[in-house]
Structure formats: C-alpha cells, structure tokens
Structure 1
Amino acid sequence: MKEKNIKKAARIALGANLVFAGISHLTFARRAFRAQVPDFVPLKKDDTVVYSGFVEIAMGTALIFTPDKYAERVGQIAASFFTAVLPGNVSQMTHRRNAFGLNTDKKRFFRLFFQPVLVYWALKSTSPVKPKLK
C-alpha cells in the first residue's frame, strides 16, 4: 500500500508540473518556449508553443485525475511526449538559444539529461504495483 501511495503522489506531482508548464506556455514563459521550437517544425513557433501548452495541461490533468486502471497508459503517453519534445532541447543547445536560465553551452547540454528523468518519472509513477509475495 505504501508503494501505491508513493507512486500516486509522484504521478500527481508530475501532473501538477505539467499543468504549470502548460499554463506557462500560454502566458508568462511563452516567448522563452519559442526558443526551444526546432526550425524543422512546420508550424509557426508561437503556434507550436500554444498547442504544446494545451497538450501539457491536458496530459497533466489526466495524470492527476485518471483512475489507477488507466494510469499506466497515460504514463506511456506522457513518456512518449517527453521523448517527442527532446529535439526542442537539442535545438536550443545546437542553436545556442538562451531561455530559462540556460545561457551557456554547458547548461544547455546538461538540460538534455533531465529529459530521460521525466520519461522515467512518467513510466515509474504510473506502473502497476506488483503484489508482494509472503
């Protein structure tokens, strides 16, 4: 039971962070997020930021409120999203675009290592709790 509660708390925390990030895409950090949109994306950078903000709000809300029986699938979708946006972080690094305090090559490079943490967090916090053998 303890593991289930820890996973649920981690899932809710990830969801809350996604909702906050999504809101920031639409409001106060909108300009900064444009720095992460790769040039190969066929949409306007601002449109991409807005659409991804809506996706993050929806995904965060789903992580927070999804019943446990659907959590694993929602976690897989979130992990896929975190993987899909990695090129934005790579683009920010390779084009040396400053945003979110990432104003050096070193900071932009080390930011890349946070993406696998998000993928792991999404998968681990939504994976089923295995019953313990007695």
Structure 2
Amino acid sequence: MLRGDVVADPPSRGSGIRRTVGRLWLGATLAFAGTSHLTVAREEFQAQVPTWFPADPDAVVLASGVVEIALGVALLAAPGRRRAAVGWIAAGFFVAIFPGNISQLVTRTDAFGLESDTARAVRLLGQPVLVLWALWSTGAWRSLRAALAAQPAEVLPR
C-alpha cells in the first residue's frame, strides 16, 4: 500500500460503543438543556441572548429550547442512516448559538455561575468541543470522508 492511499477502516466494536454512548449522552444533555430553557433556567438563558439580536430574548430562549429538545430526541432516536445528518444539524446549531456565548463574555453578563471574564472565556472553548462531539458521535465526519473518498479523482489538464 502506498503512503497516502485512503483506506476506510471499519470501526472497531469498542469504537462503535463509544460513539453510541457519546451520541446518547449528547442527546440526553440537549433534551435536558432544552427542557430547562422552557422551565427552571429560562432567565439564565436570556442572559446569553445578544442585546443586538432583533428578537425578544424570551422568545429566543423558548425557540432554542424547543430546537434543543428536538435535536436531543433526534440524537437519541435517529436511525443509523439519518444520524450523520442529525450530527451536521446539531453541529450547525452549536455554531449558530456561539454568538450568545461571546455576547455573555463581551457584556460581562453573569449567568450559570460564570461570574468572571476568565470563566466566561473558558466556556467559549467548550463550544468547538460540542461541534466536534456532535460530528464524531453521529459518524458525520466518517460519512463525509467516505463520500469524498468515493468521488472520482479529477483529471488534471496536461
């Protein structure tokens, strides 16, 4: 085999179990967070809605809570052939809400026990982890790599 050859390694049994546990944990976490958007942490979540965002903060929190519950349920229940798509949607959601986390840092808004700039800045590092977690645990990265590997090589002009 030449260096640079692309070989799709079948996932080991342990790898599949870790992905499944990761996906289920992320789904349960999102469903719980979404439920708390609608109930006990509603005001805390409003602190993350940027002041420049042209919508009522409570409406944003309610809508994002419903989306989080739906994503959580989808991560928990999506059949194998749909999991990669759910992973990309969840990753997109995490990217879409990132400005709220940045706003909380910039405006120095205390919420969720984040009462210092350092704590709010460290929290920003968690968002890329969530994006990667969604893509890894659903097999979205693996699915993309497989699709790209299946593409015919482009012929370069001479």
| 1:40 shift after superposition | 2.1
Aligned length: 130
* Structure 2 runs not aligned, ≥5 long: 1-12, 146-158
Q: CA RMSD in A?
A: 1.3
Work out which structure has the larger RCO, using CA pairs closer than 8 Å and 6 or more positions apart in sequence.
1
TM-score calculated relative to the size of structure 1 = 0.94
State yes or no: 1:51 paired with 2:25.
no
Q: Which residue of 2 aligns with 1:95?
A: 107
State yes or no: 1:31 paired with 2:43.
yes
Written as runs of structure 1 = structure 2, the 5 A alignment for 1:73-88 is 73-88=85-100
For residue 2 of structure 1, what is the amino acid of its counterpart? Answer: G
What percent identity do the matched residue pairs reach? 49
The one of 101, 114, 117 aligned to 2:129: 117
State how far apart, in whole Å, the 2-side matches of 1:76 and 1:85 are: 14
State how far apart, in whole Å, the 1-side matches of 2:130 and 2:136 are: 10
Deviations 1:51-107 (A, max 9, x none): 000000000000000011110110000000000100000000000000000000110
Q: Which has the larger radius of gyration?
A: 2
State how far apart, in whole Å, the 2-side matches of 1:41 and 1:53 are: 17
Secondary structure in 2 matching 1:50: helix
State how far apart, in whole Å, the 2-side matches of 1:9 and 1:67 are: 15
For residue 23 of structure 2, what is the amino acid of its counterpart? Answer: R
4+ long deviations beyond 4 Å: none
| 1:8 shift after superposition | 1.0
State how far apart, in whole Å, the 2-side matches of 1:73 and 1:4 are: 18
Deviations 1:22-75 (A, max 9, x none): 000000000000000011221100000000000000000000000111101100
State how far apart, in whole Å, the 2-side matches of 1:41 and 1:48 are: 9
